[in-house]
Structure 1
Amino acid sequence: MTTSTWAAFRAAEPAFAESVQSRFERYRHHVLATLRKDGSPRLTGLEVNFSAGELWLGMMPGSFKARDLVRDPRFALHTNPGADDSMDGGDVRISGRAYEVAEPAEKARFVEDAQPPEPFHLFRVELDEVVRTSVEGDELVVRSWNPEGPVRTRRRR
């Protein structure tokens, strides 16, 4: 399967990427799904960071979700539905792979920009798929993108 960086996604589909990023930036905490050692899913809360043109996941050292990603980089990320459950701005899901950043210079650039509490694990995201579901008038609108083509839009009444 082909993956893409956030920067490449943003270059290919700037308006869609902006709507996705804006939805994530509306709230601080989101839900991350990783795979446990036995293959079962693990759901945990997470903050995301868009910095230097990429999507980053930062985690406490030794956390279960960090250990899961080191072992198996596959993940799914879901936006916070919001305090009033309105889903204002739609429902956004990202799936892909998250790779730990070990290079001190790259991690230092992230620290300079994001100023996270240290120590921490840092993962750079590679995208498999981005989906945004919203209600427009009386239609459910599902927009999806993957690295193999442009955004597809499906509408249902």
Structure 2
Amino acid sequence: MATWAEFTAEQPDMAAFVQGRFAADRHALIATLRKDGSPRISGVEPDFARGELWAGMMPNSLKSKDLRRDPRFALHCTTTVASMTEAGDAKISGTAEFWTDKDAYLKDLFDRTEWQPKPEEIDLFRFDVTEVVQLTVEGDGMIVLSWHEGRGTRRVEKK
């Protein structure tokens, strides 16, 4: 698994694009796996900070329970027709690590946003990435740029 910093060092332009798409609307969708293996889609606010990709969740929320049981996830930026054609689309997949030492992250969060939940008010996850996808519209076609850990990037044009 690659940390966000490792991915960024390998693919700085793609990382900047993807972070920009997630920053355009702080709300995103995360797919997790339920106990029975079926998918669950939930809202989440990903945070790119300190060279890592993070997300805080309500303690013991269903998505938090899902990730603690099975750490695989897929994250998708908020996309509208306008944002897809004007700005593009971004997706990230990988695994989540339940983070118990929250102090440094919460201090950094406060320094950046002036918001600091109490440690017991948040289940914190740090995400490693195995796949990152960037989609853009060019003319009447779509460009899909995908990165997979250990395989590098691949570009596909779809008409």
TM-score by length of 1: 0.91
* Paired residue type of 1:113: D
2:128 counterpart of 1:126: yes
Shift of 1:152: 1.3
Which structure features the higher share of helix residues? 2
Contact in 1 for aligned 2:96/2:125 (Cα 8 Å): yes
Corresponding residue number in structure 2 for 1:111: 106
Distance in 2 separating the partners of 1:43 and 1:37: 14
Identity over the aligned pairs, expressed in percent? Answer: 47
From 19, 22, 39, give the equivalent of 1:24.
Answer: 22
Within-5 A mapping of 1:8-47 = 8-47=6-45
SS of residue in 2 equivalent to 1:4? coil
Give the superposed CA RMSD: 1.3
Contact in 1 for aligned 2:136/2:142 (Cα 8 Å): yes
Deviations 1:11-70 (A, max 9, x none): 001011000001100101110100000101111100010110110011010100000000
Shift >3 Å, 4+ stretches: none
Count of residue pairs brought into register by the alignment = 151
* Paired residue type of 1:137: G
Uncovered stretches (5+) of structure 2, i.e. residues with no partner: 111-115
From 83, 87, 103, give the equivalent of 1:86.
Answer: 83
Deviations 1:126-155 (A, max 9, x none): 111001111012221000001113221111
Distance in 2 separating the partners of 1:95 and 1:120: 22
TM-score by length of 2: 0.90
Shift of 1:85: 4.5
Uncovered stretches (5+) of structure 1, i.e. residues with no partner: none
2:99 counterpart of 1:97: no
SS of residue in 1 equivalent to 2:126? strand
* Paired residue type of 1:59: M
SS of residue in 1 equivalent to 2:46? strand
Moved more, 69-78 or 117-126: 117-126
Corresponding residue number in structure 1 for 2:63: 65
